[in-house]
Structure 1
Amino acid sequence: MLLVLGLLLVFTGGCTEKNNSSLPYGKSTAGSGGYEVVDSTGYVLQLPQKPQRIVALSISTAEITMALVDPERIAALVDLADVSGVSNIVEQAKAVPKKVQANAESVIALQPDLVIIPDWRPAALAQTLREVGIPVYVYKTATTIDEVKQSITIIAHVVGEEQAGERLVAEMETQLEQVNEKVRQIPKDSQQVVIRFSLMGDGGGKGSTFEDICRQAGVIEGAALAGLSREDVMSKEQIVSVNPDVILLPAWDYTGKTDITKFAEDVQNDPALQSVKAIRNKKMVAVPDRHLTATSQYIVLGVQDVVRAVYPQYF
C-alpha cells in the first residue's frame, strides 16, 4: 500500500479521464494549465506542459517520436528499436540509452510524463499505467499510408510539436510524389502482380498496409487479388491461381530460427510452385522487412523498395 501511495504521489503531472467533451480524437486544446488531447479510446489527457519524459512502446511509435522531439525528451524506447531487422532507427536510437519491454513494471520505474501506445497493445497495459497516474495516449494503428500521415500529425499534437509533424508529413508526400511520377509511366495493362512471403505473419491482403504500399507502387497485391484479408494466409493453390510476376522474400526472421537463404531456395524449388511466373523467371527479391512493416514515415521506403523490385527499368 505504501508503494502504491508513493507512486500515486510521484505521478501527478498528468491524468486521464473518459472523454465527455466534443473534442475529436487526436485534437488538442490549450488551457491555462497546459493542454488536453483525446486518444483513440476516448480518453482525455490533461498535460500541464510539453512532455519531457516520453516512453514510446512500439517500433513505429519510436520512429515517429524520434523524428519529432529531441532525444533528451525521451525517457525510453521500446526494446526492438535496437534490432536492425525490424527497426529503421537503430543508429538514431543510440541517443536514447533506455530501452524497455512493453510491460507496466518497466515503464513505471522510468517515471514518465507521457507513454504513447498503439491500439494493438493490450488494453490492460494502458489501464495499469493510468491507475498509478501515468498519462497514456493510445492511438489507432495505421492500415494505409494516409493513416500513417494522420498518426504522425496526431502524435505531433500530443508531444506539442505540430510544426515538426507538418514537416515530416510534407517530406513523406514529396517522396511519394517522386515515386508516383515514375509509376504514372507504367501502362495499366502492364501492372505486375506481386505477393509477399513473410516470417512475421503479415503477408498482405485486403486492408493491409502492404496492399496500400503496392497500390502506391503501381503493382497488384496478390493476396488481395485472391480475395484474402490481412488475417488470412495464402495457400499454394491460391499462389498458383494468382500467378504472381514477382515474389518478395523476407530479409529477417524475428525468431532467429530460419535460414533466410535456405528459405528462398525452398520456395524456388517447391514442386507445387513451378508453374508460377515469378518462379519460372526467377523473379524473387528480398526486401527489408523493416520497410514493409513500418507504420511510420519509413513506410515510404517500402513503396520505393517495391517499385525497384518490380519495375527496375523505371526506378
Structure 2
Amino acid sequence: MFGPRHPLMLIAVLLIAAAPAPHRPRRIVSLNLCADHFLIPLADRGQIAALTRFARDPEISAEAARAAHYPVSRGTAEELLALRPDLVITSPWRRAAIAELLRGRGVAIADVPDAQDYAGIRANIATVAALVGHPDRGTALIARMDAQLDALGPARGHGRTAAYWQRRGFLTGAGTLVDDLLRRAGLANLATRLGRPALSRLSLEELVANPPDFLFAEAGPVRDQGTELLTHPAVLRAVPPRRRLHIPGALIACATPAYPRAVANIAAQLLAADRIPTRARSQ
C-alpha cells in the first residue's frame, strides 16, 4: 500500500507515538495581569484556577470581555493557598515572596518578563505556551499575529513625528512598548529626536517649541491638574485637535497578543487624519 517507504513511515509513526506529551499543569494561578493575556488564549479553560482581578477591568485589560468568564483572585496568600495551584505565574518582583510562601508544596513558579517590543511578545507567547503544555497553540498564535500585521499593509506614518505625552507632561521614549508601536506605524518618536530617555518630563514650553506632527494624549475631559496640561490653549495651537490621537490604555498596559490591535488602532487614526482636507488639519 505504501510502497518501498512503508517501513520508514511506520518507524516515524512509532517515534511520534512514543514521544512524551508536554507536561500540562492542572491548576494555574496568575498573579500577573500581563500573564492573564497569555493564559486566556493559550491554556485550556479548565487549567486556569484563577486570573488576577484586574483581568476584568476594561481600562487596563485587553482581555476583559473573555476574562469575565474565568475565576479571579486578589492574589492574597490565603487565596493562593486555598486555590491549591500546581503552577503560579507571577511578576519578577514578587517571585521570591511567592517562592517562600509555597516552599515545600511542589508548586512550580514562573514569571513572564516585561516585553518592550514585538519580538519580546513573541518570545513570551512561546514561553507561556510551553509552560501550560500547549506549544502548538503558541506557534499558531504567533502566526496569526504575524498575518494580522502583514494584512495592515505599508506603515502610514511616513516618518512623521509623534509624541506620546501624558498627564503631568510625562513623555515616553525609546526602549518602550509605545516607542515600538510608533515605529511599527512608521512614526518617528519625538522623544528620540530630543534625546530623551524611556520616560521623562516634557514641559509645555518644550512641546510648543518642538511640535510633533501627531500628539498621542489621554482622551476624555479634564479630570485634574495633571490632565489640564494636555488641553492648554498653547498646546492646542501647536498640535490642533485633528492631529491628536489616542491609544486605549488596555492595548498598551501590557505587552501582549493585543499588539496587532494596537498597531491597527494607530493605523486607522492616521488614515482618518490624512483624509481630512489640508486646511482643516491646521484647525
Q: Return the alpha-carbon distance in structure 1 between the equivalents of residues 168 and 61 of structure 2.
A: 14
Task: Structure 1: state its 5+ residue gaps.
Answer: 1-31, 36-48, 252-259
Q: Return the alpha-carbon distance in structure 1 between the equivalents of residues 159 and 191 of structure 2.
A: 15
Q: For the structure 1 residues 238 and 127, does the alpha-carbon distance in structure 2 shift closer, same or farther, using more than 3 Å as the test? A: farther
Aligned to 2:151: 178
Deviation at 1:88, TM superposition (A): 1.4
What whole-Å deviation, never above 9, does each CA across 1:116-165 have from its counterpart, x for those lacking one?
1232x334333334425321102321011110000000111111100000
Aligned to 1:115: 88
Q: Is the 8 A contact 2:145 2:260 kept in 1?
A: yes
Aligned to 2:103: 131
Q: Return the alpha-carbon distance in structure 1 between the equivalents of residues 98 and 261 of structure 2.
A: 31
Q: For the structure 1 residues 127 and 236, does the alpha-carbon distance in structure 2 shift closer, same or farther, using more than 3 Å as the test? A: farther
Aligned to 1:60: 34
Q: For the structure 1 residues 200 and 52, does the alpha-carbon distance in structure 2 shift closer, same or farther, using more than 3 Å as the test? A: farther
Q: Return the alpha-carbon distance in structure 2 between the equivalents of residues 286 and 271 of structure 1.
A: 19
Task: Summarize the alignment of residues 31-50 of structure 1 with structure 2, pairs less than 5 Å apart.
Answer: 49-50=23-24
Aligned to 1:297: 257
Counterpart secondary structure, 1:168: helix
Deviation at 1:106, TM superposition (A): 2.6
Q: Return the alpha-carbon distance in structure 1 between the equivalents of residues 167 and 82 of structure 2.
A: 33
The Cα RMSD (Å) is 2.8
Mapped pair 1:216 → 2:180:
no
Q: Is the 8 A contact 2:52 2:73 kept in 1?
A: yes
Q: Is the 8 A contact 1:63 1:88 kept in 2?
A: yes
Q: For the structure 1 residues 100 and 196, does the alpha-carbon distance in structure 2 shift closer, same or farther, using more than 3 Å as the test? A: same
Q: Is the 8 A contact 1:129 1:136 kept in 2?
A: no
Counterpart secondary structure, 1:131: coil
Higher helix share: 2
Aligned to 2:49: 75
Deviation at 1:33, TM superposition (A): 9.9
Aligned to 2:174: 206
What code does the residue aligned with 2:121 have? V
Counterpart secondary structure, 2:110: strand
Q: For the structure 1 residues 68 and 123, does the alpha-carbon distance in structure 2 shift closer, same or farther, using more than 3 Å as the test? A: closer
Q: Return the alpha-carbon distance in structure 2 between the equivalents of residues 85 and 135 of structure 1.
A: 31
Scaled by the length of structure 1, what TM-score is found?
A: 0.71
What whole-Å deviation, never above 9, does each CA across 1:8-36 have from its counterpart, x for those lacking one?
xxxxxxxxxxxxxxxxxxxxxxxx9987x
Aligned to 1:236: 204
Between the aligned residues of both structures, percent identity stands at 22
| Aligned residue pairs, count | 253
What code does the residue aligned with 1:151 have? N
Aligned to 1:311: 271
What whole-Å deviation, never above 9, does each CA across 1:161-207 have from its counterpart, x for those lacking one?
0000001111111111122x231x76xxx422222234599852110
What code does the residue aligned with 1:226 have? L
Q: Is the 8 A contact 2:167 2:229 kept in 1?
A: no
Aligned to 2:69: 95
Q: Return the alpha-carbon distance in structure 2 between the equivalents of residues 203 and 268 of structure 1.
A: 12
Deviation at 1:287, TM superposition (A): 2.7
What code does the residue aligned with 2:268 have? R
